[in-house]
Each structure stands twice: as C-alpha cells, then as structure tokens.
Amino acid sequence: MRIILLILFITFILDGFSQRKMITGRVVDQVEKEIPSVHIRNLTIGKITVSNESGNFKMPANEGDTLRLTSVGFEELIAIVSYDWFERATELVMIEGTIELEELTISSIPSIEEFKERVLQYKPVDSTQFWYFGVDKPVLTGDKMVVTNKYKSPLFAIFHPASFMYYNFSKQEKEKRKIYSITKTQPVRDRAYNKFTRDWVREETGLEGDQLTSFIAFCDFDIYYLDRTSLFIIKENMMAKLEEFREEGKG
C-alpha cells in the first residue's frame, strides 16, 4: 500500500511539472531600460534563470507561481504569474535601490610621537592561521593521546579506566608530553632567538659582558611576542626597558 501511494505521489509531482508552460518576459528599470543579469527564481518549483543582455528571460511556470527577481543596485521584486503571461511577453519593472554608506569620521593625522605611542600600545591578535610564506608548517607526530588530549576526557576515564590512570599519572607519559610541548614550540623559539640575538642587543644598547647578559634577562620578552612583533617595535620596547635597567643601577 505504501509503495502504491509513493508511486501516485511521484506521478502527481511529475504531472505538476509537466503541466507547466514556458513564460517569457523582459526586465526593465523605471525608464524602461533593459536590465541584464537579473536573477529570476520561481520560488514555487525552485527553478532559476538569468536575464540576457536585452533583459529578456524564459521560465517554466504555472498561473499563481511566485517569482523573485534580484539584481545588484535594484530592490528585490516579487511577482505572481497570471494567466495573461502565457499569451504575451510580460514586462517587469525593477526600482533602483539606495545604498546607505556607514558614517565616516575624518580626523587629523597624528604626530609621529602619537603614532609611535599607538603602535606600542597595539596588541596583535594571536592567529593560528598565520604562517611564514615559503616555509612549510612543521608536522608533529606522536601518540594521538598526547596530541589530542583525549586522556583528559571524562568519557575516556569511564570506558578506559586503566589507560586513563596511565596517561594521567605515569611519569613516562608526563615526560613524553613535555617533549611534545618543546617540539611544538621549537620553531617559534628558533625564529624568536634568531631575531632577538645577543649581538643585535649589544649593537643597539652598547652593553657588554655580564651587563648584557643581565639586561637580556631583565627584558624577559615572551617568545611569541618576539616571533610576531617587528624589530622596530621590539627595539622601542627594549630601549624603554634599558632606561628602567639603568635607573635600577644595573647598567
């Protein structure tokens, strides 16, 4: 019985599509100038077409079908197919839309000192999508439990209690996670330390020996900060740190 009903339903749908005729139309603006590339969608059956360079289009439809016309720079137009559409080409008029721009505030150009201060106060957003052009991303391999932190999942503890105890309390696994963490951050460390070198700090500050070593430790810059930040900004912050270093009598 269900199969018979399904066949009747499909036949009804196919008959509905087959009974649809082809309508023709032309899309124009308020001064009757043709509008090309208008998207015309028959919402009743889901068919889509586009008007040509003369604004003309063809579309299968039945009386009572709903058409939606959209085009950049014009307001959306909704039209209902009537019986006379099948007797002659129908002209549809679209009205130009108005585009409201966001309010623009014009301010004076800041001085160099103000610009530097704003740059120094800017905090870059950490993005995992950024990478250096031409350099392959490192692929970390190893135990999936360490990489994905599945061992911390409550469900893992329920279904694998012995493994949960091992991964969370085993000294060997803790050491493995330390190695993984170091390996993961090593490329960042390499780039940071290649940028913020001892020789570069010596050239910029004039410090030598133990004072240079003490000053580098005094700066205590985060490796992610050194990796993401330009040398110009790093130098500005470093020189500010140098003043503090000398005020404390260390330089």
- The DSSP result for 134-166, as a single string, is T-PPP---S-HHHHH-GGG-HHHHHH-HHHHHH
Domain boundary pick from 93, 125, 155: 93
Question: Any idea what the CATH number is for the domain that residue 64 is in?
Answer: 2.60.40.1120
Token pair listed for 21: 């005729």
Residue 15 has pLDDT above 70, yes or no: no
Tell me whether residue 106 is in a domain: no
Strand (E) positions, 11-70? 21-28, 39-42, 47-50, 56-61, 66-70
Same domain, yes or no: 128 and 241: yes
- Could you give the CA distance from residue 220 to residue 213 in angstroms, rounded to a whole number? 11
Q: Predicted confidence band at 250 (pLDDT cuts at 50, 70, 90)?
A: low
Q: Predicted confidence band at 117 (pLDDT cuts at 50, 70, 90)?
A: confident
- Check residue 132 and give its pLDDT: 46
Domain boundary pick from 60, 93, 126: 93
Report the domain count for the chain. 2
CB 60 within 8 Å of CB 21: yes
Same domain, yes or no: 121 and 184: yes
Same domain, yes or no: 81 and 117: no
Mean pLDDT, rounded, for 153-178: 68
- Check residue 128 and give its pLDDT: 45
Q: Predicted confidence band at 192 (pLDDT cuts at 50, 70, 90)?
A: confident
Q: Which of the 8 DSSP states describes residue 121?
A: H
Tell me whether residue 239 is in a domain: yes
Same domain, yes or no: 123 and 28: no
CB 73 within 8 Å of CB 98: no
Quick one: what percent of the chain has pLDDT higher than 90?
21
Tell me the pLDDT of the chain averaged across its residues.
77
How many CA within 13 A on the CB side of residue 143?
16
Tell me whether residue 33 is in a domain: yes
Same domain, yes or no: 116 and 89: no
Tell me whether residue 55 is in a domain: yes
Q: Which of the 8 DSSP states describes residue 74?
A: B
Domain boundary pick from 44, 63, 93: 93
Tell me whether residue 218 is in a domain: yes
Q: What stretch of H or E contains 31?
A: none
Tell me whether residue 139 is in a domain: yes
- Check residue 195 and give its pLDDT: 82
Same domain, yes or no: 82 and 188: no
Work out the burial of residue 57: count CB atoms within 10 Å of its CB; fewer than 13 is exposed, 13-18 middle, 19 or more buried. Answer: buried
Q: Higher pLDDT residue, 58 or 133?
A: 58
Tell me whether residue 103 is in a domain: no
Residue 138 has pLDDT above 60, yes or no: no
- Check residue 125 and give its pLDDT: 53
- Check residue 224 and give its pLDDT: 84
Token pair listed for 73: 């720079």
Q: Which domain holds residue 38?
A: 2-93
Same domain, yes or no: 63 and 154: no
For 208-218, give one letter per residue: b (16+ CB within 10 A) or e: eeebbeebbee
Q: Which of the 8 DSSP states describes residue 39?
A: E
Contacts of 22 (CB under 8 A, 6+ apart): 58, 59, 60, 61
